[in-house]
Amino acid sequence: MNATQTLIALWTLVLKEIKRFTRIWPQTLLPPSITMAMYFIIFGNLIGSRIGDMDGFSYMDFIVPGLIMMSVITNSYSNVASSFFSNKFQRSIEEMMVSPMPNWVILSGFVLGGMARGLGVGLIVTVVSLFFTRLTMEHPLLTVLVVVLTSALFSIGGFINALLANKFDDISIVPTFILTPLTYLGGVFYSISMLPEFWQGVSMLNPILYMVNVFRYGFLGVSDIPVGWALAAIFAFIVALFMVALTMLERGKGIRS
Amino acid sequence: MAEPALSIRGLTKVYGNGFHALKGIDLDVQQGDFFALLGPNGAGKSTTLGVVCSLVQKSTGKVSIFGIDVDKDFAKAKYQLGVVPQEFNFNQFEKVLDIVLAQAGYYGMTRKEALPRAKQLLSDLGLWDKRNGSARMLSGGMKRRLMIARALMHRPKLLILDEPTAGVDIELRRSMWEYMRRINRDEGTTIILTTHYLEEAESLCRNIAIINHGEIVRNTSVRELLAELDTETFLLDLAAPVDQAPRIEGFEILQVEPSQLALVIHKGQELNDVFSALSEQGLKVVSMRNRANRLEEMFVSMVEGNQQAIDQREPQEARA
């Protein structure tokens, strides 16, 4: 394929993915906005007013970046995991496999589709948060960069999960038992400076902590961890997981007999 | 001589569980041919075609499409290839038009190029009115035609049809045959067909390969194969029932029902002799038809013969 044909193929796949999640918006776009509105009301307004300040900010202001990031992570991951697995399950993945589309285009198409949903939901949650607080952004470029990179990373994660999955249950195991606990323990609702030293050390092993903190730094200008180091780690993870996913795709893992 | 549309050499496939699905297949399909790949279930037809269209990874062997070695440039080879699989493999929740346009996009066709092509193909296959409906609302026959339209979007030179008319009613099957004949004749598209309807293979195909237990048992023209047919069985419907089958010297006649006889004709025998003898015995034949399709008889005898050969070989191998 020449460069133009490759771009057409990629755009076709991305558009198809965007059409898919917008077609089923009551399942994909509406629930996160309702759930996050509940978080803002209960944790931000009702309980948050009794908690007081966190790192010098109101509790509502403190949790907003973390909740936006939580939505981006779960939606990016689950979009690719469920979409690619559905394609496997319905065998419509064969449409792509018999075409001359290179594997990196197939992978990138699904990842960009996952990012479109993750970032779309992130934007919706941001808009919802404006009903509860006045958002300020200390470092807009950094904020955008980190949310885009995080979305890409978890979209690739969802792709690998779908490649390895043999049944629908297999695509809910990682989000339920790994992603959700790591997100909740990743400093969305609290600053790790509140934890005893030992648990602060343990928290530093949680990759989501870095993403939430850099994202919060973009909004509020405060972070528990060094921003540059965190960005480098996210980028390295993206490159490594992309290569893993691509190698699995080249070998036909889970899709070719 | 032009490169074959498809050339397969020494193709083997051993699945992870140790099953030898293909045991060294050699096959050539010439450009412009209408070729049938026949075999019983599990013989290796779909595995062979799966390797050709990259859905199955081969163990060893070489596959070339119009001279392009798939190991060297599969992407280029795939441009020549259109695939209609045995099972529905599109997203049932997508619109019909979106399915064919997306396929064109995967081949790098712009929407401007793809839309007229989609309109032409969907109209030819009677699906244009359904273009904005969800694919799951289509009948089984329409879904098969949708897969044919999708496979033809990028104008492939080689079309692979894996049981394209399975579950399709007779009228629709015949209209699909006519369509396939047309694209083979008018557009020069080489077609490889697998089917369980041997009437379909006899009616459409010029050349044929029979595969059984992962080996090519025969690879010849349909005409030559039928010429080898040693016996043919006809069913004769009588005007009145008989107590037992009439005896006619040199012919094998069996009673199927009180007013139906099965007549086995060997090569060289003439039907006129039978009818004369039946008339002399006062029996009137009101209608006559083949008991089975001619190719079907040939196919059954070959597959059975191959099975016997394997059964004889295996005990010896077991002893060795």
Residue B150 distance to chain A (closest CA, Å): 9
Output the six-digit token pair for B242. Answer: 């008989």
Q: How many helices (H) and strands (E) does chain A have?
A: 13, 2
Interface test with A, best of B66, B106, B109 (most A CBs within 10 A): B106
pLDDT in tens, B100-137: 999 999 999 999 999 999 999 999 999 999 999 999 99
Q: For residue A12, give the nearest of B53, B87, B106 by CB distance.
A: B106
Which pLDDT value is given to residue B293? 61
Average pLDDT of span B264-270:
81
Residue whose entry in the numeric block shows the structure tokens 């180091």 = A229
Residue A112's pLDDT band, with cuts at 50, 70 and 90, is: very high
Nearest Cα to B80, choosing from A105, A98, A2?
Answer: A98
The 3 state secondary structure assigned to A25-85 is: HHHHCHHHHHHHHHHHHHHHHHHHHHHCEECCEEHHHHHHHHHHHHHHHHHHHHHHHHHHH
Percentage of chain A exceeding pLDDT 90? 53
User: CA B38 → CA A14, B44, B48, B229, B300, distances in Å?
Assistant: 39, 9, 11, 17, 11
Tell me how many degrees the CA angle B245-B251-B256 measures, rounded to the nearest 5. 35
Q: In whole angstroms, give the CA distance from residue A108 to residue A85.
A: 16
Residue B306's pLDDT band, with cuts at 50, 70 and 90, is: low
Q: For residue A94, give the nearest of B75, B78, B85 by CB distance.
A: B85
Percentage of chain B exceeding pLDDT 90? 48
Rg, Å, chain B Cα set: 23
B108 at the A interface (CB within 8 A)? yes
Ranking A47-56, B140-149, B237-246 by mean pLDDT, the lowest is: A47-56
CB contact set of A202 (below 8 Å; sequence gap of 6+): none
Residue B127 · residue B142 · CB < 8 Å: yes
Average pLDDT of span A137-165:
94
A8 at the B interface (CB within 8 A)? yes
**Residue A209 CA to chain centroid, in angstroms?**
13
What separation, in Å, do the N-terminal and C-terminal C-alpha atoms of chain A show? 25
Which pLDDT value is given to residue B318? 41
Q: Is the pLDDT of residue B319 over 50?
A: no
Residue A184 · residue A69 · CB < 8 Å: no
Ranking A172-176, B1-5, B35-39, B312-316 by mean pLDDT, the lowest is: B312-316
Residue of B nearest to A85 (CA): B91
CB contact set of B125 (below 8 Å; sequence gap of 6+): B145, B146, B148, B149, B179
Output the six-digit token pair for A69. Answer: 């990031």
Q: In whole angstroms, give the CA distance from residue A85 to residue A165.
A: 7
Residue B317's pLDDT band, with cuts at 50, 70 and 90, is: very low
Output the six-digit token pair for B175. Answer: 């209209």
Q: In whole angstroms, give the CA distance from residue B239 to residue B213.
A: 45
**What ipTM describes this predicted complex?**
0.87
CB contact set of B94 (below 8 Å; sequence gap of 6+): A16, B102, B134, B135
B75 at the A interface (CB within 8 A)? yes
Beta bridge partners of B265: B232
Which class for A89: exposed (0-12), middle (13-18), buried (19 or more C-beta within 10 A)? middle
CB contact set of B177 (below 8 Å; sequence gap of 6+): B165, B200, B203, B204
What separation, in Å, do the N-terminal and C-terminal C-alpha atoms of chain B show? 45
Output the six-digit token pair for B250. Answer: 């040199």
Q: For residue B107, give the nearest of A16, A23, A99 by CB distance.
A: A99
Average pLDDT of span B72-101:
92
B311/A43: higher pLDDT: A43
Average pLDDT of span B22-29:
93
| DSSP strand pairing (B60-65 vs B6-14) | antiparallel
Percentage of chain A exceeding pLDDT 70? 100
Q: Is the pLDDT of residue B308 over 80?
A: no
Average pLDDT of span B174-182:
89
Residue of A nearest to B85 (CA): A94
Q: Is the pLDDT of residue B161 over 50?
A: yes
Which pLDDT value is given to residue A128? 92
Residue A115 · residue A180 · CB < 8 Å: no
Residue B96 · residue B46 · CB < 8 Å: no
Which pLDDT value is given to residue B311? 65
Tell me how many degrees the CA angle B151-B154-B160 measures, rounded to the nearest 5. 35
CB contact set of B250 (below 8 Å; sequence gap of 6+): B269, B273
Which pLDDT value is given to residue A226? 83
Average pLDDT of span A11-22:
95
Q: For residue B83, give the nearest of A6, A23, A98 by CB distance.
A: A98
Element of type H or E holding A202 = helix A197-203
Q: In whole angstroms, give the CA distance from residue A102 to residue A2.
A: 11
pLDDT in tens, A194-248: 888 888 888 888 888 888 888 988 988 877 778 888 888 889 999 999 999 999 9
The 3 state secondary structure assigned to chain B is: CCCCCEEEEEEEEECCCCCEEEEEEEEEECCCCEEEEECCCCCCHHHHHHHHCCCCCCCEEEEEECCEEHHHHHHHHHHCEEEECCCCCCCCCCEHHHHHHHHHHHCCCCHHHHHHHHHHHHHHCCCHHHCCCEHHHCCHHHHHHHHHHHHHCCCCCEEEEECCCCCCCHHHHHHHHHHHHHHHHHCCCEEEEECCCHHHHHHHCCEEEEEECCEEEEEEEHHHHHHCCCEEEEEEEECCCCCCCCCCCCCEEEEEECCEEEEEEECCCCHHHHHHHHHHCCCCEEEEEECCCHHHHHHHHHHHHHHHHHHHHHHHHHHC
Residue A118 distance to chain B (closest CA, Å): 22
Q: Is the pLDDT of residue B291 over 80?
A: no
Which pLDDT value is given to residue B320? 40
B134 at the A interface (CB within 8 A)? no
Amino acid at residue number A177: F
User: DSSP secondary structure string, A87-103?
Assistant: HHHTTTHHHHHTSS--H
Which conformational region is residue B39 in: left (phi greater than 0), alpha (psi within -120 to 50 degrees), or beta? left
Residue B305's pLDDT band, with cuts at 50, 70 and 90, is: low
Which pLDDT value is given to residue A63? 87
Residue whose entry in the numeric block shows the structure tokens 């060094």 = A226
A27/B268: higher pLDDT: A27
* Maximum mean pLDDT: which of A40-49, B51-60, B226-235: B51-60
Residue B106 distance to chain A (closest CA, Å): 4
Enumerate the residues of chain A whose CB falls inside 8 A of the CB of residue B78: 98-100
Ranking B26-30, B218-222, B307-311 by mean pLDDT, the lowest is: B307-311
**Residue A49 CA to chain centroid, in angstroms?**
29
Amino acid at residue number B314: E
Which pLDDT value is given to residue B123? 94
Nearest Cα to A9, choosing from B69, B143, B50, B114?
Answer: B114
Average pLDDT of span B197-203:
79
Average pLDDT of span B51-64:
93
Cross-chain residue pair B78–A8, CB shorter than 8 Å: no
